[in-house]
Structure 1
Amino acid sequence: MKQTKRILAIMLTLALSISMIPTINVSAAKKVKLNKTKATIYVGKTVTLKLKNNKNKIKWSSSNKKVATVTSKGKVKGKKAGKATITAKVGKKKYKCKVTVKKKVVKQTTPQTIPQPIEKTTTKPSEQSTTSKQEETTNNQEQPTTNITEEPTTNSDDYGDSGEDWMVKSTSNKCWIQEYVGTETDIVIPEKICGKTVVGIDNGAFAYCDSLISVIIPNSVTSIGDSAFSHCTNLKRVEIPNSVTKIEGDAFSSCRSLKELIIPNSVVYMGMHTFSFNDMETVKLPYVQNYEFFVQSCTINQVIYYEGTSKINLGDFSFCSIESVIIPESVIEIEMEISDYYKSKINNIVGKQGSYAELWAKQNGYTFIAQ
Structure 2
Amino acid sequence: MGKPKSASASASASASWSALFGLGCFSSSHAGHSGDASGSGSGPKNAAKVASSSRPPVPMPMPSPEDLSLSLAGSDVLAFTVEELRVATRDFTMSNFVGEGGFGPVYKGRVDDRVRPGVRQPLAVAVKLLDLEGTQGHKEWLAEVIFLGQLRHPHLVKLIGYCYQDEHRLLVYEFMARGSLEKHLFKKYSASLPWSARLKIAIGAAKGLAFLHEAAKPVIYRDFKTSNILLDSDYTAKLSDFGLAKNGPGEDETHVSTRVMGTQGYAAPEYIMTGHLTTKSDVYSFGVVLLELLTGRKAVDKNRPPREQNLVQWARPCLKDPRRLERVMDRRLNGHYPTRAAQKAAAIAYQCLSVSPKSRPQMCAVVEALESLQALDDGAVEPFVYTAPPENQ
What's the TM-score once normalised by structure 2's chain length?
0.25
- Which one scores higher on RCO, CA 8 angstroms, separation ≥ 6? 2
Q: Which has the higher strand share?
A: 1
Structure with greater Cα Rg: 1
